[in-house]
Amino acid sequence: MQAASPVEPDDLTPEQLAAQWEEEKPPAAGPLANVGSSLVVIGVGVGAVALSVAMGLGTPSAPQPGLWPFMISCVMVALGLFQLIMGRHNRDAEKFTRMSMAPLTGLVTLAATVALMPLAGFELPALVLCIIWMRFLGGETWRSTLLVSAVVVTAFYVIFVTALNTSIPHLF
Protein backbone atom coordinates (compact mmCIF):
# COMPACT_ATOMS: atom_id res chain seq x y z
CA MET A 1 0.00 0.00 0.00
CA GLN A 2 1.42 3.37 -0.99
CA ALA A 3 1.19 6.50 1.09
CA ALA A 4 -1.01 9.24 -0.29
CA SER A 5 1.02 11.79 -2.17
CA PRO A 6 0.85 15.34 -0.83
CA VAL A 7 -1.49 17.66 -2.66
CA GLU A 8 0.37 20.33 -4.59
CA PRO A 9 -0.96 23.93 -4.32
CA ASP A 10 -1.40 23.93 -8.11
CA ASP A 11 -3.89 21.05 -7.77
CA LEU A 12 -6.16 22.91 -5.33
CA THR A 13 -9.16 25.02 -6.23
CA PRO A 14 -9.12 28.64 -5.05
CA GLU A 15 -11.60 27.77 -2.31
CA GLN A 16 -9.49 24.84 -1.08
CA LEU A 17 -6.36 26.99 -1.13
CA ALA A 18 -8.10 29.76 0.83
CA ALA A 19 -9.28 27.18 3.39
CA GLN A 20 -5.73 25.82 3.70
CA TRP A 21 -4.33 29.31 4.26
CA GLU A 22 -7.02 30.00 6.85
CA GLU A 23 -5.99 26.88 8.80
CA GLU A 24 -2.28 27.72 8.68
CA LYS A 25 -2.38 31.41 9.54
CA PRO A 26 -1.24 32.60 12.98
CA PRO A 27 -3.84 33.60 15.57
CA ALA A 28 -5.38 37.04 15.22
CA ALA A 29 -4.11 39.92 17.30
CA GLY A 30 -6.47 41.69 19.62
CA PRO A 31 -7.40 45.36 19.79
CA LEU A 32 -4.57 46.05 22.26
CA ALA A 33 -1.96 44.83 19.76
CA ASN A 34 -3.51 47.02 17.06
CA VAL A 35 -3.35 50.06 19.34
CA GLY A 36 0.23 49.24 20.36
CA SER A 37 1.47 48.87 16.81
CA SER A 38 -0.31 52.09 15.80
CA LEU A 39 1.35 53.97 18.66
CA VAL A 40 4.77 52.64 17.64
CA VAL A 41 4.26 53.87 14.06
CA ILE A 42 3.09 57.26 15.33
CA GLY A 43 6.06 57.50 17.70
CA VAL A 44 8.59 56.65 15.01
CA GLY A 45 6.90 59.10 12.64
CA VAL A 46 6.92 61.94 15.18
CA GLY A 47 10.60 61.26 15.93
CA ALA A 48 11.40 61.30 12.23
CA VAL A 49 9.47 64.57 11.80
CA ALA A 50 11.60 66.15 14.54
CA LEU A 51 14.84 64.91 12.96
CA SER A 52 13.72 66.06 9.52
CA VAL A 53 12.96 69.56 10.78
CA ALA A 54 16.38 69.65 12.46
CA MET A 55 17.98 68.82 9.10
CA GLY A 56 16.18 71.76 7.49
CA LEU A 57 13.22 71.64 5.15
CA GLY A 58 13.83 74.43 2.68
CA THR A 59 11.17 75.03 0.04
CA PRO A 60 9.88 72.88 -2.82
CA SER A 61 11.96 74.95 -5.26
CA ALA A 62 15.05 74.84 -3.02
CA PRO A 63 14.72 71.73 -0.86
CA GLN A 64 17.07 70.97 1.98
CA PRO A 65 17.98 67.45 3.15
CA GLY A 66 15.06 67.13 5.55
CA LEU A 67 12.21 67.84 3.11
CA TRP A 68 11.60 64.33 1.73
CA PRO A 69 12.09 62.58 5.09
CA PHE A 70 9.66 65.15 6.56
CA MET A 71 7.01 64.34 3.96
CA ILE A 72 7.40 60.58 4.45
CA SER A 73 7.29 61.04 8.24
CA CYS A 74 4.05 63.01 7.99
CA VAL A 75 2.55 60.17 5.94
CA MET A 76 3.69 57.71 8.63
CA VAL A 77 2.01 59.74 11.36
CA ALA A 78 -1.19 60.06 9.31
CA LEU A 79 -1.29 56.32 8.60
CA GLY A 80 -0.59 55.53 12.25
CA LEU A 81 -3.44 57.80 13.33
CA PHE A 82 -5.75 56.24 10.74
CA GLN A 83 -4.85 52.76 11.98
CA LEU A 84 -5.33 53.85 15.59
CA ILE A 85 -8.82 55.18 14.89
CA MET A 86 -10.10 52.79 12.23
CA GLY A 87 -7.97 49.71 12.90
CA ARG A 88 -9.55 48.73 16.20
CA HIS A 89 -11.99 46.53 14.32
CA ASN A 90 -9.34 45.00 12.07
CA ARG A 91 -9.45 41.21 12.30
CA ASP A 92 -6.65 40.55 9.80
CA ALA A 93 -3.79 41.58 12.08
CA GLU A 94 -1.69 38.70 13.37
CA LYS A 95 -0.45 38.12 16.89
CA PHE A 96 3.21 38.75 17.47
CA THR A 97 5.12 35.50 17.15
CA ARG A 98 8.75 34.52 16.94
CA MET A 99 8.71 35.47 13.25
CA SER A 100 7.64 38.98 14.25
CA MET A 101 11.23 39.55 15.33
CA ALA A 102 12.54 39.18 11.76
CA PRO A 103 11.76 42.78 10.72
CA LEU A 104 13.33 44.08 13.94
CA THR A 105 16.42 41.95 13.30
CA GLY A 106 16.56 43.34 9.77
CA LEU A 107 16.30 46.91 11.04
CA VAL A 108 18.96 46.45 13.73
CA THR A 109 21.42 44.79 11.34
CA LEU A 110 20.82 47.51 8.74
CA ALA A 111 21.47 50.23 11.35
CA ALA A 112 24.64 48.44 12.44
CA THR A 113 25.80 48.25 8.82
CA VAL A 114 25.25 51.99 8.36
CA ALA A 115 27.09 52.72 11.63
CA LEU A 116 30.06 50.53 10.66
CA MET A 117 30.47 51.88 7.11
CA PRO A 118 32.52 54.96 8.04
CA LEU A 119 34.85 52.78 10.11
CA ALA A 120 35.19 49.65 7.96
CA GLY A 121 34.02 50.71 4.51
CA PHE A 122 30.90 49.26 2.97
CA GLU A 123 32.30 45.94 1.74
CA LEU A 124 32.59 43.96 4.99
CA PRO A 125 29.46 45.31 6.73
CA ALA A 126 27.42 44.78 3.54
CA LEU A 127 28.73 41.23 3.21
CA VAL A 128 27.83 40.42 6.82
CA LEU A 129 24.40 42.04 6.32
CA CYS A 130 23.71 39.94 3.22
CA ILE A 131 24.79 36.78 5.01
CA ILE A 132 22.58 37.47 8.04
CA TRP A 133 19.58 38.38 5.92
CA MET A 134 19.89 35.46 3.52
CA ARG A 135 20.89 32.68 5.92
CA PHE A 136 19.15 33.57 9.16
CA LEU A 137 16.16 35.62 7.99
CA GLY A 138 15.68 33.99 4.60
CA GLY A 139 16.65 30.42 5.47
CA GLU A 140 18.85 29.98 2.40
CA THR A 141 21.58 27.35 2.23
CA TRP A 142 25.12 28.33 3.15
CA ARG A 143 26.24 27.75 -0.41
CA SER A 144 23.71 30.12 -1.98
CA THR A 145 24.10 32.59 0.90
CA LEU A 146 27.85 32.95 0.45
CA LEU A 147 27.70 33.00 -3.35
CA VAL A 148 24.89 35.55 -3.65
CA SER A 149 26.31 37.75 -0.87
CA ALA A 150 29.70 37.90 -2.59
CA VAL A 151 28.07 38.68 -5.96
CA VAL A 152 25.86 41.42 -4.45
CA VAL A 153 28.75 43.17 -2.68
CA THR A 154 30.93 42.90 -5.78
CA ALA A 155 28.14 44.33 -7.95
CA PHE A 156 27.63 47.23 -5.54
CA TYR A 157 31.37 47.90 -5.56
CA VAL A 158 31.51 47.91 -9.36
CA ILE A 159 28.44 50.13 -9.67
CA PHE A 160 29.01 52.66 -6.90
CA VAL A 161 32.80 52.80 -6.56
CA THR A 162 34.11 51.98 -10.02
CA ALA A 163 31.38 53.14 -12.42
CA LEU A 164 29.77 56.04 -10.52
CA ASN A 165 32.82 57.03 -8.48
CA THR A 166 30.67 57.88 -5.45
CA SER A 167 32.09 58.99 -2.12
CA ILE A 168 30.83 55.88 -0.31
CA PRO A 169 33.41 54.68 2.24
CA HIS A 170 35.24 51.63 0.89
CA LEU A 171 38.32 49.56 1.78
CA PHE A 172 39.68 48.79 -1.66
Amino acid at 45: G
- Residue 3 predicted with pLDDT over 70: no
Distance separating alpha carbons of residues 56 and 58, to the nearest angstrom: 6
Output phi, psi for 28, to 5 deg: -75, 150
Q: How many whole angstroms separate alpha carbon 58 and alpha carbon 38? A: 30
pLDDT score recorded for residue 104: 87
- The span from the CA of 148 to the CA of 69, in Å, is 31
CA distances from 145 to 64, 131, 150 (A): 39, 6, 8
Residue 44 contacts residue 36 (beta carbons within 8 Å)? no
Each residue's pLDDT tens digit, 12-34? 788 888 888 778 777 777 777 78
* pLDDT tier, 10 (very low <50, low <70, confident <90, very high otherwise): low
Q: Indicate the average pLDDT of the chain.
A: 87
